[in-house]
Every structure is written in C-alpha cells, then in structure tokens.
Structure 1
Amino acid sequence: MPRPRKHRRVCSHPRCTGFKPCGGDKPVITMTLDEYEVIRLIDLEGLTQEQCAEQMEVARTTVQAIYARARKTLAQCIVEGHSLQISGGDVRICEYRNPTCSKGCCRWKNSQIE
C-alpha cells in the first residue's frame, strides 16, 4: 500500500480562479492550488525552491516536481490558447500560526504593514 500524500500548506485561495483567452473555445486545463502556490512563491515572491518547500512543508524535490507541472500547464494555456481553472489538489490553507510563515505568506505581509 503506498504512503499517503502529504498535504501542501497554501497561504490562501487565489483571488481569481480562472483565466480565458479571447475567442478561445478550447478545453479548460486545471492547475491545482499547490501548483498555483509554487508559481506564486517562486516567480512572484522570489523565494528559492528550498524556501518555498519550507513554507509549504514539503521536500524540495516535491517543489521541483510541482513547479515543473505548473510551468507546463501555464505554457500550454498560453501557447495553445486553453482556458485555465485553478482548483483542487492535496492542500491545507495556512492558519498563520506556523513559524515557517515568511515573506511569501500573504497574511505575514499584511501583519508587517499594520
């Protein structure tokens, strides 16, 4: 029997859960919430894969695999004109009580502003 998958910690749900190209009628491609979170942390927040792994509470190799899937999904949507839907995945939403919350955490950022 395989080992159960570990839930990835995600800061919050995305504000926008879908994107559709102009005039596109191709099938919708789904990106999981953990793939979205990896793209957000690495590409938007500028974290390293190791920092991202620590914040999501998974191994760095897991982050590498998630990141590769997420980039392929984004490329397919952009190049082939598919719509993108963000949902699902083995995730749990951050309660902001974790010592690994850092600059990549939306709630941590808001608490630093106040």
Structure 2
Amino acid sequence: MSRPRKWRRVCCLPECKLFGPLNAVIDQEALVLMLVDEYETIRLIDLQGFTQEECAEQMRIARTTVQRIYNDARKKLAESLVNGKVLRIEGGDYELCEGLEKTCRCGGCLRHRWNSE
C-alpha cells in the first residue's frame, strides 16, 4: 500500500486560472494543466524570491518535493509559452493557509493582504 499524498499549504488561489493565446481553441490536446501546488512554487520561488528550502518550509513539504514540483511547473509553463497552448491552473492536493500562524511569511494570504492595506 502506498503512502498517502501530503497536503501542500497554499496561501492564495490564482485570480486568473486560464492563460494562453487570444485566438486559441481550448481542446484537450492544446491544454496544459498546472496544479495549484505547482503554481504556488512558481509564485513563492520566482515572484517572492524564496529559496527552495524556504518554499518547502512554507508549504510544509520536503525540499526535494518542492524541487520536483517546481521543475514540473517550469516544464508546463515552457510548453504553454513555446507551443502556444492554453494553461489552466486547477486541482491538486492542497490546503489554503489561514494566515494565522507566525511562520506564514508569504505575503499572499488574505491576512497579510489585509494588514498591508
């Protein structure tokens, strides 16, 4: 029996979940599906400037898992951009951060957005 997948902590869902060429016809062959946890690694590492270790701590998973998720996300981004495919962000094993813990330092969860306004 395999181990159950660990839930990844995500601080915010993307406001836009569909990206691609303006003239694209959305069909299964021209669609790249990115999971929410893959989106979160891109957001934390590339946008917020976290290291992979900091990202792993934030998402409550191992650094090696972050590395694998991040590599998968980058491949999906490249496939969408280079081949002109539609990118949809949805699904995965994740839980939303409530922003109540002192260790949350992502800046993306609702609590942090309210405090900064």
CA spacing shift, 1:42–1:52, aligned 2, 3 Å: same
Provide runs of 4+ in structure 1 moved above 3 Å. 103-109
| Offset of residue 27 of structure 1 | 1.5
CA spacing shift, 1:11–1:70, aligned 2, 3 Å: same
Equivalent residue letter for 1:73: K
Q: Which runs of 5+ in 1 are unaligned?
A: none
SS of the residue aligned with 2:58?
helix
Query: 1:49 and 2:56 equivalent?
Result: no
Q: State the partner residue of 1:10.
A: 10
SS of the residue aligned with 1:99?
coil
Query: 1:81 and 2:106 equivalent?
Result: no
SS of the residue aligned with 1:14?
coil
TM-score (norm. length: structure 2):
0.89
In 2: Cα distance, 1:35 partner to 1:14 partner? 11
Q: Which moved more, 1:18-27 or 1:28-37?
A: 18-27
Equivalent residue letter for 1:38: T
Query: 1:100 and 2:100 equivalent?
Result: no
Q: State the partner residue of 1:60.
A: 63
Does the 8 A contact of 1:53 with 1:63 survive in 2? yes
Q: What is the number of equivalent residue pairs in this alignment?
A: 114
Instruction: State the Cα RMSD in Å.
Output: 1.5
Equivalent residue letter for 1:88: G
In 2: Cα distance, 1:40 partner to 1:87 partner? 15
In 2: Cα distance, 1:95 partner to 1:81 partner? 36
SS of the residue aligned with 2:80?
helix
Q: State the partner residue of 2:30.
A: 27
Equivalent residue letter for 1:13: L
Q: Which runs of 5+ in 2 are unaligned?
A: none
